[in-house]
Amino acid sequence: MAMRYFEDLEVGTVERFGAYPVTREEVIDFASRYDPQPFHLSDEAAAQTYFGRLSASGWHTGAMMMAMLVSHMKEGEPLASLGSPGLDRLEWLKPVYPGDTLSIESKLIDKRRSKNRPEMGITKSETMVLNQHGEAVMRIISNGLVRVRNPEADA
């Protein structure tokens, strides 16, 4: 199977993908396990906050984003991903509610070869999670590690 390597990635490339339906059951289940704040668990409690109604945890939004990203990386020509050393920025911009459908718009904003690890390159992407109205609900600037096709080639 063909793979996409570091050399195949072009700065400025924008990809749009995903369609993740947010369900009430999943919002409550995730919050019960990992972020049990009342406005993620109860309509009554959420009505007393600026959310106005039951909303997904921001961490749940991140998990849904990750599920869409990994699914996308496996499609077509899979990305030769080696993981991520972390995020530069994470912003939760709008609440996510049961009934929303999330998607992703991701732009590669930088890439460079690793100085210490010739078998990998380092990428930087801006990823926007959008709701069904095209409104941004989450923004991250993330770093990725991607396998280099030919580590012996000049960087």
pLDDT tens string, the chain, 155 residues long: the values are 688 999 999 999 999 999 999 999 999 999 999 999 999 999 999 999 999 999 999 999 999 999 999 999 888 788 899 999 999 999 999 999 999 999 999 999 999 999 999 999 999 999 999 999 999 999 999 999 999 998 887 65
Distance of alpha carbon 52 from the chain centroid: 25
* pLDDT reported for residue 76: 76
Q: Where are the beta strands (DSSP E) in the chain?
A: 14-21, 86-92, 101-113, 120-130, 136-147
Closest by CA to 90, choosing from 65, 110, 67, 68, is 65
CB 140 within 8 A of CB 93: no
- Structural domain boundaries of the chain? 6-147
* pLDDT reported for residue 130: 98
pTM above 0.75, yes or no: yes
Sorted by sequence, the CB contacts under 8 Å of residue 3 that are 6+ apart come out as: 77, 78, 79, 80, 147
* pLDDT reported for residue 69: 93
CB 39 within 8 A of CB 115: no
Beta bridge partners of 90: 140
* pLDDT reported for residue 52: 94
- Just give the CATH number of 6-147: 3.10.129.10
* pLDDT reported for residue 154: 64
